[in-house]
Structure 1
Amino acid sequence: MRKLHLIWVTACMHIEVYKYPAWSDVIEIEIWFQGEGKIGTRRDWILNDFATGQVIRRATWWI
């Protein structure tokens, strides 16, 4: 991308926070991508509390 003088720009971000983890909590992060047209993409995130499996955050970024 540097050779073509291109950059990525985050156009929109949506975050849902259900719980804040404590300092010693272990979290699991699941990330996946979806194409949105020719040059756009969407990145989805889910953060889980590893001990309970409870979803603590969700996020979606449109680039």
Structure 2
Amino acid sequence: MSIESAKAFIRRMKTDEEFAQKATECRDAKAWMTFAKEAGFDSTVDDVTVDDIKEAIKELSDETT
């Protein structure tokens, strides 16, 4: 998942309550990947890193300040 995709995912989590609820219900990486793909986000578990998500969150936080 690219940084841009991660940002889009996080934005959607912040603005779409139903989407956020479904995302948080995923109990493992496979369930999360299935959910993300069904929602239109192309990625694999190996593509997503904690650093990618942290960077996306930081950039989104910077945009709102």
- TM-score tier by shorter-chain length is under 0.3
Give the TM-score normalised by structure 2.
0.24
Higher relative contact order at CA 8 Å, sep ≥6: structure 1 or structure 2? 2
Q: Which has the larger radius of gyration?
A: 1
Give the TM-score normalised by structure 1.
0.24
